[in-house]
Amino acid sequence: MDQAAQLRKLTEGNTSLKLVSSTKPMTKIIAIASGKGGVGKSTISVNLAISMAKAGQKVLVFDGDLGLANVNVILGIIPKYNLYHVVKGHKSLKDIIIQAPEGVDIIAGASGYSQLANLNDTQRNNLIKGFGDLDSYDYMIIDTGAGISSNVIGLTLPADDVIVVTTPEPTAITDSYGLIKAIVSQSRDKNLKMVVNRVRSAIEGKKVADRVIDISGQFLEVRVENLGFIFQDDEVEKSIREQKPYIIHSPKSKAAACLNRITYSLLNQEMEAQEDSGIGGFFKKFFNFVDVREKQQSLDDN
């Protein structure tokens, strides 16, 4: 049996992903980030959420790329309301949640409002309270923006897991290391994981991951876990054009098999409970980071 056929077996009925539910009540937060744009981060975020939902998990996707609204575009959804309306006090957070395929819930990015850091105290407190009311989810997946802006780093630091997405392209590899370095400069104890997207072979996927992992260990003294790879697959491109996630559009594709394997790995990992856990606690820590950054910037300017 060839490698692709073995991977496809993981998708048959998706039964291998049916796991015993966790006894940990708080929502687990996974931030998905990339040093470079265009590596497929948003596509992975959406498909991973659906794969988790198919495995029996209750999943919320938060489009942390805010102004670009990638998540709802991938799903072919035009939201009537988004985070902007919550920030302005026109809607509650529960009012703007969109139900996507397989029961995944989506919070669309705040089109025209790209910086959560700019919120005043009232807006922050309303947002924290709103997110705190959403802790019935098993997982929240955050599709962050690309790069190392304050918004991106601020959304990765409070997360239980940070998945860094790269491709075999040299600039993507270099930028993924830059992102890891930026995260580690703020917190050395993050659970960092790597997914290599659009690989032509398993050997290429391992080679790219090992390169970033080895450099990160040598120069940053930090451990990065190789979570897996996703094959270059024409079915992914078709699904993007048709605005239907490939885990649904082509469930027996090579890419879907790879993603199911990644899902299985994530769902079988125990995460330690953190202080101020859950979605509300996540955003408390995000705004704490923003405040510290602003104070540092003020000191630097003076």
Written as one string, the DSSP assignment of 181-238 is HHHHHH-TT--EEEEEEEESSHHHHHHHHHHHHHHIIIII---EEEEEEEE--HHHHH
Sheet strands side by side (includes 105-107): 98-99, 105-107, 59-63, 139-146, 28-34, 161-166, 192-199, 224-231
More confident residue, 91 or 47: 47
Q: Note the pLDDT of residue 148.
A: 92
d(CA 166, CA 176): 6
Torsion, CA 184, CA 59, CA 115, CA 153, rounded to 10 = 0
Q: Is 41 among the annotated ligand-binding positions? A: yes
Q: What is the pLDDT of residues 149-170, one digit of tens each?
A: 888 898 999 999 999 999 999 9
Worst-scoring range by mean pLDDT, 15-19, 89-93, 271-275? 15-19
Q: What is the pLDDT of residues 79-100, one digit of tens each?
A: 888 887 887 788 888 899 999 9
d(CA 128, CA 222): 31
Q: Is 38 among the annotated ligand-binding positions? A: yes
Tokens of 100: 């996507």
30 forms bridges with which residues in the sheet?
141, 161
Residue 99: Cβ-neighbour burial (10 angstroms; 0-12, 13-18, 19+): exposed
Whole-model pTM: value is 0.86
Q: Name the residue with tokens 């190392």.
A: 148
d(CA 155, CA 227): 20
Q: Note the pLDDT of residue 13.
A: 45
Q: Is 228 among the annotated ligand-binding positions? A: no
- Has residue 21 got a pLDDT over 60? no
Q: What is the pLDDT of residues 199-235, one digit of tens each?
A: 999 999 999 999 999 999 999 999 999 999 999 999 9
Q: Note the pLDDT of residue 302.
A: 63
Q: Is 181 among the annotated ligand-binding positions? A: no
Q: What is the pLDDT of residues 257-271, one digit of tens each?
A: 999 999 999 998 765
Q: Is 212 among the annotated ligand-binding positions? A: no
Expressed in percent and rounded to 5, the helix, strand and coil fractions of the chain are 50, 15, 35
More confident residue, 33 or 68: 33
Instruction: State whether CATH 3.40.50.970 applies to domain 25-269+276-290.
Output: no
- Has residue 181 got a pLDDT over 80? yes
Q: Note the pLDDT of residue 18.
A: 45
- Map out the domains of the chain as residue ranges: 25-269+276-290
Q: What totals of helices (H) and strands (E) does the chain contain, helices first?
A: 13, 8
Average confidence (pLDDT) over 265-283: 74
Please give the backbone phi and psi of residue 231, each rounded to the nearest 5 degrees, phi first: -65, 145
Average confidence (pLDDT) over 108-114: 66
What is the percent of the chain with per-residue pLDDT over 90, rounded to a whole number? 54
Q: Name the residue with tokens 């917190």.
A: 187
Q: Note the pLDDT of residue 116.
A: 64
What is the percent of the chain with per-residue pLDDT over 70, rounded to a whole number? 82
DSSP letter at 26 equals S
Residues 6+ apart with CB under 8 A from 190: 156, 157, 159, 162, 183, 184, 222
Tokens of 241: 């054009």
The whole-chain average pLDDT of the chain stands at 85
Cβ–Cβ < 8 Å for 56, 15? no
Q: Which runs of consecutive H residues, i.e. helices, occur in 68-198?
A: 70-74, 83-87, 93-96, 121-132, 150-156, 170-186
Q: Is 43 among the annotated ligand-binding positions? A: yes
Q: Note the pLDDT of residue 192.
A: 97
DSSP letter at 135 equals T
d(CA 102, CA 56): 10
d(CA 286, CA 157): 7
Q: What is the pLDDT of residues 186-203, one digit of tens each?
A: 998 899 999 999 999 999
Provide the pLDDT confidence category of residue 19 given band limits of 50, 70 and 90.
Answer: very low
Q: Is 67 among the annotated ligand-binding positions? A: no
